[in-house]
Amino acid sequence: MERFDISNLKQNDSIHFIGIGGISMSGLAQIAIKLGFKVSGSDWNQTHITKNLESNGADIVYGKGACNEKGIKRASLVVHTAAAKPDNPEMVFASELNKHIIDRAEFLGAIMKMYQNSINVAGTHGKTTTTSMLAHAFMYLSLDPTISIGGELDLIGGNIRTGAHKYFITEACEYTNSFLKFFPTIALITNIEEDHLDFFSGLDEIIESFKTFANLTKGKGTVVAMWDDKNVQKALTDTDLDIKKYGMGKDCDYYPENLKYKAGYPQFDVYSDGKKLCHIDLNVPGEHNVLNALATVAVCDILGLNLELSAKGIETFKGTHRRFEKKGYINNAIVIDDYAHHPTEIMATLKAAKAFPHKRIRCIFQPHTYSRTRTLWNDFVKAFDESDELILTHIYPAREVFDGVTKPQDLAEDIKKRGVNVKYIEEFSEIAKYIKETAKEGDIIFTMGAGDVTEIGPMILE
């Protein structure tokens, strides 16, 4: 099937986005507006993101099952989120009108082809943070990049920035094999683990998907790979690709030396082949962010950028929204919101917290989707060993319905068997009340997960 080419559209043509309020879809809509297209869309709820699009001229209708018939009728192209099913009212209506319909990934791939350098950040974890570090480095160097991030970054005032046509920096998600529709000149892979098992059959299929993604650079680009990850090695070993490796060991092309922590934050030199390239004092915690910074330096080096200035740009990065984001204090206890929803992410976040002065680490965790909770059950059971107290709440279903077997109360019982102090509390209001009554100086209190658990922080602090 022939791929969509954005050059087929004319100035002032209309594009309709089904699910326009999603973090990625909204970014694409913003790019479309900046390119001179008229934009319409639909979403379940009005948010600050959709309000911003409306202020820039987007015509949006709201409500579950809403159908923006006017927008679809005048559209030359209809772009849909991966969550939109064939029976979605707008999908049905657009099909009846024989509209050209493509998914989000194909539209993003079409935009990439407009840029000289397309830097795609892929991996089970770390995509948003690494993309944000790259954004800070490129902005510090005044390179005027176009940036698409799966989170909100204060530096660019949201999740999207439209710049010149030399550098495009974006996240590349493996879910539904979306990233296989992209055109990377640099494919950065942070790690590969089991996830999205409602789509993939297992780890072998995931590794094969990343291998196919890496091969998109063959003959025209470079793969930047975190070589400490055995699954990344499986995906890339015995390929004839141009691969640059980064990791904690000297067998990599980029590695750290003289690593130490000051007030919980890593400081280190970046080395390559025994030669010091630059020094970085990070303003985000954790060894995982040392790796993300190494990846950023590797990309900058491949592109021939000034590495000392790139490092200074990385140092200006203090996190994105919902990544170790400090929300406030109660009784001299700090409340932090974090997006971690996979066992590896949870362990990395709690390990990073251990480096800060504290008396107790208290984690409020909301599992995300029944399929992820069920398939990674044993890993979730082991993920909270570094916490002094865990409060588990109901599962955020996202695109799923209750499967009849996966119950967070049972997960709490299995975690308790490991000796973790765990409570199950269903209602957010009850969690907030409990924390307010028990918060003490020296507590680090996390609200953690990819769902609406983020609502608890303001309830605690109000």
**Alpha-carbon distance 255 to 268, whole Å?**
10
| List 81, 124, 128, 296, catalytic entry | 128
* Residues contacting 166, CB < 8 A, separation 6+: 115, 116, 117, 143, 144, 145
Distance between CA 154 and CA 168 in Å, rounded?
18
Kindly state the tokens that stand for 90. Answer: 């707008």
Q: Are 81 and 101 in contact (CB under 8 A)?
A: no
287 is catalytic: no
Q: Which listed residue (152, 171, 193, 315) is catalytic?
A: 171
Contacts 24+ apart (CB under 8 A), 96-101: 97/72, 97/73, 99/16, 99/72, 99/75, 100/4, 100/76
Determine the Cα–Cα distance for residues 109 and 307; give it in Å rounded to an integer: 29
The answer to whether the beta carbons of residues 272 and 301 sit under 8 Å apart is: yes
Strands, DSSP E only, in 104-193? 117-122, 146-153, 158-161, 167-171, 186-189
C-alpha 389/C-alpha 392 separation (Å) is 10
Q: Which amino acid is at 335?
A: V
Would you call 171 a catalytic residue per the annotation?
A: yes
| Rounded CA separation 408/453 (Å) | 14
DSSP structural state of residue 421 = -
Q: Minimal CA–CA distance to 120: which of 129, 111, 110, 131?
A: 131
SS3 442: coil
Helix (H) or strand (E) holding 413, with range, is: helix 408-416
- The CA radius of gyration of the chain, in Å to the nearest whole number, is 22
**CA–CA separation, 434 and 365 (whole Å):** 14
Candidate list 127, 181, 211, 245, residue with the active-site label: 127
Amino acid letter for position 76: S
Looking only at the bridges linking them, the beta strands covering 117-122 and 146-153 are unpaired
Contact between 402 and 429 under an 8 Å Cβ cutoff? The reply is no
Q: Report yes or no: 244 and 223 within 8 Å, Cβ to Cβ.
A: yes
- 454 catalytic residue (yes or no): no
Active site residues per annotation: 127-128, 171
